[in-house]
Amino acid sequence: MAGEDASERIAKRLARAGVASRRVAETMIAAGRVAVNGRIIDSPALNVSAADRVTLDGRPVAEPEPTRLWRYHKPAGLVTSERDERGRDTVFAHLPAELPRVMSVGRLDLNSEGLLLLTNDGALKRRLELPATGWLRKYRVRAHGAPDEAMLEPLRRGITVEGERFLPMRVEVDRQQGSNVWLTLAIREGRNREVRRALQAVGLVVNRLIRVGYGPFQLGELAPGAVEEVRPKLLREQLGLQRPAERRRPPPPRPPGRS
């Protein structure tokens, strides 16, 4: 997302080019596999600009990819991580092979489903996860219980659970369905298992949780397991991103005999 003349850390440049994550890129640098302008480097504490020539194992590194964002309908039962130490199935094992290397914007826990944003840009990921963005994370929630307004009021005021303070939530009852209730709920921070923990604290046990919105991006009719890229125009409008800068080309030579 940097401008054409801006500098950035070499590991970030490698990550934006799709070579590897920044952490893995740093190990490549330490192993002496990366060179800048023909000189092998061994420390990631180096800034490079678009004019610098970067190679990996002697081969030129591709130009950084433009910032991209995808909507993904995460099914329940998948872990939102690249690898799981317990051997559970992961989101990234189910993404289409043609997708470039992507990162998730935040997480959905194992049993949650719905909208998960994916991006190829680490800076955009961090920006979208910041509570300072103030973007609502919106959920449809099914929970065991029959709440009245008094039960929901602590959620709307802000509730403290196990010493952790949650910001006020927007909570609306959609319908009672037997012993379960369907709620529409919106939060602004997205802390670890925030919705489940907050509802349990007021006596409601969540048995289905579907994220349907993240800021201006909506789940809509996206089928479970499906991935759809956000159009670049919409991405620019919603996030204020600029069009990718065109390469500067030298002016054409002037015809001989002309001044």
Both tokens of 90, joined, read 């992961």
Q: Which position among 109, 121, 148, 174 bears the catalytic label?
A: 109
The reply to whether 52 belongs to the active site is no
Using an 8 Å Cβ cutoff, are 154 and 101 in contact? no
d(CA 169, CA 189) in angstroms, rounded, equals 10
d(CA 109, CA 90) in angstroms, rounded, equals 11
DSSP for residue 16: H
Closest CA to 103 of 136, 85, 135, 129: 129
Using an 8 Å Cβ cutoff, are 40 and 46 in contact? no
Using an 8 Å Cβ cutoff, are 139 and 209 in contact? yes
- Going by C-beta distance under 8 Å and a sequence separation of 6 or more, which residues neighbour residue 160? 166
Using an 8 Å Cβ cutoff, are 10 and 41 in contact? yes
Catalytic residues: 109
